[in-house]
Structure 1
């Protein structure tokens, strides 16, 4: 049965997080299609992975036989995360926007799993893997809006996941999430509700379609 690697990175728990609500909807729809499947879950906010340090980074460019004890330990942690990614049939990532870009905890995970010559590059071990990203943001950053140029969540992840991994990346977006709590945005509440509803619909339909597709290929 198929394996889903599910990553959340929102600082906020449960329903207080716009991205977690949508990733949860995706995961539930996925599990309905794969009741006997496996979900590997990482909450990067409550259990962050170590930021890449000099030992882990340098080990990625050196022959393992030459690793120092510090390099070996750091690289072993990277390999564990990489193997989780490689063994998953599909990946789900919750990516809220903080200060125009992704949370540092998600960046730390990416820094660990991006390894040139293995997961990144022409012969990437992740090439073609379906990755669904739930991008949430407090304001409006869609094409044609005044803040479009400040959107660095989708732009960055598209570059990292598509250009480096060669993965098949799909985005589900929910925005204007602060409309209910910021008085100046009260007139945008209907648009925020519509965006949330669309994201939840997309999560359910895309999870089902992806699960069915993988089942058809024997994953």
Structure 2
């Protein structure tokens, strides 16, 4: 049986491009892997982690186990639960949006809390080589030659964490101009936005098929 861990961090449900592309990716994997495929979901966009869980869990690591407060024990238990979800998965899917040129605070809290678990601390190799996907949606255009080239301060950071710190075998699927449909000033970019979104769905379908081949070879 194949287990997919999927994390969503968009604060939108209706009209969320990151969720839609992740849906296509998930469907591609489940269709190829068959009915025994299970999906473990964590939606930090709709159900954020407590704001203080990271700091509480982090400081608990410097306190002898018997001296930890109830709050510290609860925070470390939650961190372990988050880590368990990723460790148990065969494929990891993280879908996110660019917010204010940076990482979603909800996704950042999840990452920071995960790192307080020793299995995901820098230097660990718990999930090294595990196939993973990062689905990124950006409301505007940030590509080479655009006025906001270099303003995306999220994707490079997420690559650093997922690839270099955790060692995941990462595939990134990106789409831009996702706000064109609802922003009058971007009306002339709508055709390009639709093309980019279609290409992202195509990439998700191809990625899903590709990862199933990896899983079968590894079996």
Q: Tell me whether the two structures share a fold, i.e. TM-score over 0.5.
A: yes
Check whether the contact 1:135–1:153 (CA below 8 A) recurs between aligned residues: no
Distance 1:126 1:158 in 2: 15
Alignment match, 1:25: 24
Does 85-94 or 118-127 show the bigger shift? 118-127
Does the CA-based 8 Å contact 1:93-1:134 persist in structure 2?
yes
Shift of residue 61 of structure 1? 4.2
Once the two structures are TM-superposed, the CA of residue 64 in structure 1 deviates from its matched residue by: 3.5
Residue in 2 that maps onto 1:179 = 180
Specify the alignment match of 2:6 in structure 1.
6
3-state SS of 2:174 partner? strand
Contact 2:5–2:92 (8 Å) recurs in 1:
yes
Once residues 101 and 147 of structure 1 are traced to their aligned partners in structure 2, the CA distance between those partners, rounded to angstroms, is 13
Q: Which runs of 5 or more structure 2 residues have no equivalent in the other structure?
A: none
Q: Specify the alignment match of 1:38 in structure 2.
A: 38
Aligned equivalent of 1:49? 49
Corresponding residue for residue 102 of structure 1? 103
1:82 maps to what in 2?
83
Please give the secondary structure, in 2, of the residue aligned with 1:5: strand
Query: What secondary structure is seen at the aligned counterpart in 1 of 2:170?
Result: strand
Alignment-derived partner of residue 91 in structure 1: 92
Structure 1 residue matching 2:181: 3-state secondary structure: coil
Are residue 153 (structure 1) and residue 178 (structure 2) matched?
A: no
Per mean C-alpha deviation after superposition, the further-off stretch among 97-106 and 20-29 is: 97-106
Q: Contact conserved, 1:22 with 1:200, CA < 8 A, in 2?
A: yes
> Quick one: structure 1 residues 194 and 61, their matched pair in 2 at CA, closer, same or farther if it must change by over 3 Å?
farther
Would the aligned equivalents of 1:175 and 1:195 in 2 still touch at CA under 8 Å? yes
Alignment partners' CA distance in 2, 1:66 and 1:127: 33
Q: CA RMSD in A?
A: 1.7
TM value normalised by structure 2: 0.92
The CA deviation at 1:147 is: 1.1
Gaps of 5+ in 1: none
**CA distance in 2 between partners of 1:171 and 1:56 (Å):** 30
- Equivalent pairs, count: 217
Deviation of residue 164 (structure 1)?
1.5
Counterpart of 1:69?
70
The alignment partner of 1:28 has SS state of helix
Contact 1:95 1:153 (8 Å CA) reproduced: no
Report the CA distance shift for 1:154/1:24 in structure 2 as closer, same or farther (over 3 A): same
1:70 alignment partner, SS class: helix
